[in-house]
Structure 1
Amino acid sequence: MVQFFAVHWFVESAWARPYSWARNNISDLGNAHCALQSDPEPRYVCSPEHAAMNASFIALGTLLVVGIALTGALWRRGSASTVTRFLLAGAGVGFVLAGLAPADVHENQHVLGALLIMGTGNIGLLLAGARLAENVSGPLRRLTTLLGITALTAFGLFLSGHYLGLGMGGMERVAAFPLLAWALVVGSRGLLPQKTRTPGTTPEMPIARTPQGQ
């Protein structure tokens, strides 16, 4: 996830005309040609380092799919958890597709990738709040649900053209970034050792020793 934001900054900094988080889509960074784009908002797009951005999309998607596959211990058992993880992995597939099919080269495939990211991925994020394992902290589960609600709401507003003063690019980021933030937090938790305690046991108490000679 960190590489995505680092590459995002690098690629946008290469633009001759300043790149705007409010006026430009994330996908604009990966466009292969310099041209005036009219949909959904008029803007001139010219991304000299588009290849780096598309490679970052592919790397991000691959890592997301692998991460979901390797975090089985963080999930409850059952088919609902399996479906949730497949939906989240779908977002990873969407990022890979977006990187392989820039919006100005293969628009339909790119749009499909975006739908997988902000559609199925955010549905999975919403469901994840109830499907994370019981040993995952309550605040994290509640935060997951809140992020899912926020991202899905923003996606609906983005599709309907209601940007609430954030601009097209700003609303798109509210729809896309919660999933990335969640993946970073949950992935970091999965890498850290967790303390476990067998149910019904109590911590051992130190045994006092009588000093010798008494």
Structure 2
Amino acid sequence: MPDAPARAARLGALLFLLRPTYIVTEVVTAAATTGGYSFVSDSVSRLGEVGCTAAYCSPRHAVMNGSFVGYGVMLAGGALLLARPLGPWVTGLLVVSGVSSVATGLAPLDQDTTLHALAATPLFVAQPVALLLLGARLREDRPWLAKTLLATGAVTAAAAVGFVVSGEGRGAGALERAALWPVLFGLAAFAWECRLTNP
């Protein structure tokens, strides 16, 4: 029977493996919008806007904001449960990212733009750095995974910078998703490896 640390690691791995389902919540929320929503041009945060106008409305905003909170808790919780294989720096950065996601869900864009930006910013900084550090940590033991994580960290960092620079310009939605979605799969790949090596 696995000991407590092994059980904790398996639970943490499960949380990371489930996190790519976050994308479904975006699709479900976007499908209900009125006035037109583009995954290429519009930010994810627009899906969480509480207010409605004649030009745009996101009736399922609670799904999106709840997703920010729920998946943020999964990120922080998974990181803490996988603290040993992740290492202290990566764990800390991912916990910060998870808390940032939770705060983003509690501060919808159209309610307080400044507060929303302050809540979301740590996520875009901490996640790429965490992936780069994790990739460097695994270079000797798991070279293929290390290369994947390093590449994912580089791509998401570049996309995050591009998203900030573009503002609400054309392609902002695509850049934001390029900064966020690959992290889901990079950490899931790490979790899968942990699951295989810690049965």
TM class by shorter chain equals 0.7 to 0.9
Q: Does the CA-based 8 Å contact 1:61-1:95 persist in structure 2?
A: yes
1:157 corresponds in structure 2 to 162
Matching residue's letter, 2:144 = P
Q: Does the CA-based 8 Å contact 1:154-1:172 persist in structure 2?
A: yes
Q: Which protein is bigger by CA-based radius of gyration?
A: 1
Matching residue's letter, 1:141 = A
Q: Could you tell me the TM-score, scaled by structure 2's length?
A: 0.81
**RMSD over equivalenced CA pairs, Å:** 2.4
Aligned residues: 181
Distance in 2 between the 1:130 and 1:14 partners? 42
1:120 equivalent among 94, 119, 126:
126
How many Å apart are 1:183 and its aligned residue?
A: 2.0
2:50 equivalent to 1:32: yes
Matching residue's letter, 1:138 = P
Distance in 2 between the 1:68 and 1:11 partners? 27
1:98 corresponds in structure 2 to 104
Residue identity over aligned pairs, in percent, reads 29
Q: 1:109 to 1:194 in 2, by over 3 A?
A: same
Q: 1:31 to 1:143 in 2, by over 3 A?
A: same
1:183 corresponds in structure 2 to 187
Distance in 2 between the 1:125 and 1:174 partners? 14
2:178 equivalent to 1:167: no
2:30 corresponds in structure 1 to 12
1:23 corresponds in structure 2 to 41
Secondary structure of residue in 1 paired with 2:197: coil
Q: 1:129 to 1:171 in 2, by over 3 A?
A: same
Secondary structure of residue in 2 paired with 1:55: helix
2:70 equivalent to 1:59: yes
1:148 corresponds in structure 2 to 153
Matching residue's letter, 1:189 = E
Distance in 2 between the 1:166 and 1:183 partners? 29
> What residue ranges of structure 1 are gaps of 5+ in the alignment?
37-43, 76-80, 197-214
How many Å apart are 1:57 and its aligned residue?
A: 0.7
How many Å apart are 1:162 and its aligned residue?
A: 8.5
Q: 1:55 to 1:4 in 2, by over 3 A?
A: same
Off by >4 Å, runs of 4+ in structure 1 = none
Q: Could you tell me the TM-score, scaled by structure 1's length?
A: 0.76
Matching residue's letter, 1:151 = T
Q: Does the CA-based 8 Å contact 2:34-2:56 persist in structure 1?
A: no
Q: Does the CA-based 8 Å contact 2:36-2:56 persist in structure 1?
A: no
Give the structure with the higher percent helix: 2
